[in-house]
């Protein structure tokens, strides 16, 4: 018996959530993007009126405004999006205990064992679509298939607010006719390589010699062959065993170039505070700290380190980031942009190994300080409590570090064993 797998994709997720909080923009083109008052910003997502007028995800804000005069641009609120993502997953959990997030706005749901109790796959998908719309005020597109890849393809096939079933009888007509880049894991570079061998559609991939694909793309060539033929056996992960996101980060292009260690430290602590706050708000901690630095010529570096204990404490995040900075930068040029990221996320209740040489009492105090400062700022404003080092660059510390980031997991994060149906 074939599995019954759904893939639910929230339509224009960030923009849809923002429209709930901005009813005055009903019917107007709207995009969620970076802060236009800083030196750069891009479109993270746009609603359908904006997309119909040429606004594209990833385009610069000035390009979006050229394409769509009168475009409304609102800054992202990732805490809000995380909250709505959790609401959606709670609805999915009513139908299965196998709910696997793929970023904030997408989930696979294995309803194989719910069929017959809650209806067939089509009926369950329609019920989910209606419930999300009625209870959350946003829409989803749902794909149904016997494997995760075609289920995801089905959710992309018709938008918005639609259900598409990809079956063993119709997948050649629905899937194989489409361009190769519509298949999961086929990006621009892979598309160019395939085109060089006359492979332009998903059907071309499916009908190709697997050995040829392996020569072109390595192991990924074989993976794409399996994807295109609907032979992926990867299971849907059990609920709450897979974080919805891979990492939480925050970065910013500075209003002016940074010229001293003190100014960098000021920016790092500000960024670390916002990252730590969001980690705590969503009950995550992480044990990989990353910093990226871009100089005035837009070159630079990215460095990361694994720490012993998962953290959501701003002081620990900032200290690790500064150690990475001191070990990697020699001030040959001034700095234009900095970013901080915490990865390898896990629940903040996850147990960890104690260390005789680390004071757990001190860690608890630092966490209490973070929470106290957060509460004061919530009640009295961001400027109610400031670190002394912020006075090294008041014009920078006055900035709202709004260009925050959440980073979805890759389909390959869990390995390729399930793709083949055995360990690889």
For 104-260, where are the alpha helices, taking DSSP H only? Answer: 121-136, 148-157, 171-174, 188-195, 202-207, 210-217, 219-228
Cβ atoms of 76 and 51 closer than 8 Å: no
Q: Tokens in use for 301?
A: 């570096």
Give the list of residues 6+ apart from residue 387 with CB closer than 8 angstroms, or none.
266, 269
Q: Tokens in use for 379?
A: 């009640």
Q: For residues 79 and 295, what is the distance between their CA atoms, to the nearest angstrom?
A: 30
The answer to whether the peptide bond before residue 407 is cis (omega within 30 degrees of 0) is no
Cβ atoms of 132 and 91 closer than 8 Å: yes
Q: Helix (H, G, I), strand (E, B), or coil: what is residue 292? A: strand
Catalytic residue numbers read: 106
Q: Say which DSSP state 421 is in.
A: T
Q: Helix (H, G, I), strand (E, B), or coil: what is residue 74? A: strand
Give the list of residues 6+ apart from residue 102 with CB closer than 8 angstroms, or none.
7, 108, 152, 408, 409, 411
């Amino acid at each position: 018996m074939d599995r019954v797998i759904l893939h639910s994709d929230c339509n224009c997720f960030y923009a849809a959530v923002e429209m709930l909080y901005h009813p005055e923009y009903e019917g107007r083109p709207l995009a969620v993007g970076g802060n236009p008052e800083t030196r750069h910003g891009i479109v993270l997502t746009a609603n359908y009126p904006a997309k119909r007028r040429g606004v594209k995800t990833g385009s610069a804000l000035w390009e979006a405004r050229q394409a769509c005069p009168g475009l409304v641009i609102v800054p992202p609120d990732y805490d809000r999006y995380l909250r709505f993502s959790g609401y959606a997953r709670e609805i999915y959990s009513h139908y299965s205990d196998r709910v696997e997030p793929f970023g904030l706005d997408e989930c696979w749901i294995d309803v194989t064992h719910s069929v017959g109790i809650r209806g067939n796959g089509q009926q369950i998908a329609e019920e989910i679509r209606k419930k999300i719309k009625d209870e959350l005020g946003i829409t989803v597109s749902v794909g149904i298939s016997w494997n995760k890849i075609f289920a995801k393809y089905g959710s992309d096939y018709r938008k918005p607010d639609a259900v598409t079933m990809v079956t063993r009888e119709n997948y050649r007509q629905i899937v194989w006719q489409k361009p190769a880049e519509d298949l999961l894991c086929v990006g621009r570079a892979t598309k160019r390589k395939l085109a060089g061998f006359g492979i332009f559609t998903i059907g071309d991939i499916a009908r190709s010699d697997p050995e040829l694909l392996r020569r072109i793309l390595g192991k990924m060539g074989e993976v794409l062959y399996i994807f295109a033929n609907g032979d992926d056996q990867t299971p849907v992960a059990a609920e709450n065993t897979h974080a919805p996101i891979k990492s939480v980060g925050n970065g910013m292009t500075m209003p002016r170039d940074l010229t001293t260690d003190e100014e960098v430290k000021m920016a790092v602590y500000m960024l670390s505070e916002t990252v730590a706050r969001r980690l705590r708000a969503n009950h995550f901690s992480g044990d990989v700290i990353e910093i990226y630095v871009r100089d005035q010529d837009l070159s630079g570096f990215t460095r990361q380190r694994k720490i012993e204990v998962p953290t959501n404490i701003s002081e620990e995040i900032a200290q690790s980031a500064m150690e990475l900075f001191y070990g990697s930068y020699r001030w040959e040029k001034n700095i234009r942009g900095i970013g901080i990221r915490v990865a390898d996320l896990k629940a903040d209740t996850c147990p960890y190994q104690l260390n005789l040489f680390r004071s757990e009492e001190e860690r608890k105090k630092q966490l209490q300080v973070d929470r106290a400062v957060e509460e004061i700022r919530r009640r009295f404003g961001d400027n109610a409590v400031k670190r002394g080092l912020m006075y090294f660059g008041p014009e920078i510390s006055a900035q709202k570090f709004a260009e925050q980031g959440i980073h979805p997991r890759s389909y390959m994060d869990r390995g390729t064993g399930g793709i083949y149906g055995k360990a690889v």
